[in-house]
Amino acid sequence: MASTKCPKCAAPVPFDTGVKFVKCPYCSSQIYIDRTGAGFYYALPFMVTESDSVGMFKRWAAGSTKAKDLDKLAQLAGVKRQYFPVYMFKRDVNGVEQVLIETAGSTTLPGLHNLKVPAGDLKVFDAAFDTQGAELVKPDIEMTSYLSTLPGKPKEQALVYFPIWKIDYVFNQKKYGVVIDASSGEVFSAEFPTRSSMAYMAVAFIGFLAFIGEGLLATSSLVAGAGLMVVTVIGVFAAALYVSRRM
C-alpha cells in the first residue's frame, strides 16, 4: 500500500496498485491519483518456493522435446533467487493507450525473447517490502533516458521487479541455464538438450507400411494376412512402448 496526502485535510490516504480513485477515510473526499508525473516502484511477490522451482524445472525437463531422462540425469549446479527489473510505461499516443515494456538493465534473461511483466500481484516496492533474501539485479539504465524518446504523453511509469529462480544445470559435461518465473510458474530457456524424433517416426512409418502390405496380402490369402497383422500389432506395440519409455 502506497500513501498520499489528502489535499483537503492533509491526512495520509493509503492507495493500492492500479487504483485511480480513492476516498479519504477521514473527510470522505474523493481523490484522483495522478501518475503522469511520478515514477513508481513495484515488485511481484514470490509465489514459488525453492523446492517447487526445482520441481517445475524437472517437469519442464521431462517434456517431449527435451533429451530423454533430462529430469533425472541433469545435475543442478545452482539455484538462485533473484529480482529482475523492467520498466513499464503507459503512454497516451493520439488518444490511444499503449503499454510499453523496456529493459532496465544490460543483462538479459536466457529464453525471455520478449520483455514482459509477468502476471502477478503487484506490490509497492518500498523499504517495507520483504525480498526474502532475493538478490536485486540493479537497473543500470535510467528511467529518464526513456521518457524523452517514448511516443505520446505519459500516463504512468514504473520500475517493476519480477521474481525469478535462476537454475543452472549440467548435462553431458555441458552447462545450461533455465529461468523460472516465480510469480506464474512459466519456464524460460535459451538452449536445452533436445531429443530426436527419428525413432518415433520410424516406428509409426514402418508400422503404417507393414499394415498396407498386409492389407494387400489379405486379398490373396486371408489367413496369412490376418496372422501377419496380429504379429505386426504386437511388434509395433512393443516397439512403440520401448521407444516411448526409453527414447
Partner 1 sequence: MDISVGLNCPTCGGAISLPEGETTISCQYCGSALFVEGDQGVTTIAFKNKALKDAAVASTQHWWTHGLKARDLKKVGKINEAYPIYLPFWKTTTRVAGWICGYEERRHTDQKGNVRVEKIPKEVMVLQDYVFSEIACDPGDLGIRTLKNMVGETSFADFDMIPTFEATTSKDAAVTKAKGDALAKARASAHVPHVTFEKLHVFAKALTMIYYPIWVVRYSYRDRMYMDTVDGVTGQVMSGRAPGDPLFQALAVTFGAAGGGLVAAGSIIYAGASYANDVRIAGVGLVVGAVILFLAYRFFRHGSERVQGEFKEKHAGVGDLLKQAQQVSKTLEGLR
Nearest distance from residue 174's CB to partner 1, in Å? 20
| Cα dihedral sign, 11-15-20-25 | negative
Please identify which residue in 50, 102, 168, 186 interacts with partner 1, judged by CB under 8 A: 186
Q: How far is the CB of 22 from partner 1 (least distance, A)?
A: 8
> Can residue 88 be called a binding residue for partner 1 (CB under 8 A)?
yes
Span of 76-84, 128-136, 143-151, 201-209 interacting with partner 1 by CB under 8 A:
201-209
Which residues 138-157 are close enough to bind partner 1 by CB under 8 A?
Answer: 155
CA atoms within 13 A on the CB side of 228: 16
Neighbours of 104 (CB within 10 A): 23
CA 128 to chain centre: 27
Q: Which of 67, 79, 117, 141 binds partner 1 (CB under 8 A)?
A: 117
Q: How far apart are CA 107 and CA 223, in angstroms?
A: 69
Part in contact with partner 1 (CB under 8 A); list of ranges 126-134, 142-150, 167-175, 205-213: 205-213
With CB under 8 A as the contact rule, the residue among 14, 63, 78, 151 that binds partner 1 is 63
Among 109, 124, 134, 203, binds partner 1 (CB under 8 A): 203
Nearer to partner 1, 173 or 198 (CB): 198
If we measure between CA atoms, which residue out of 106, 89, 111 comes closest to residue 98? 89
Q: Of 55, 247, 58, 68, nearest to 172 (Cα)?
A: 68
- Residue 128 region by backbone torsions, left for phi larger than 0, else alpha for psi between -120 and 50, else beta: alpha
Residue 214 near partner 1 by CB under 8 A: yes
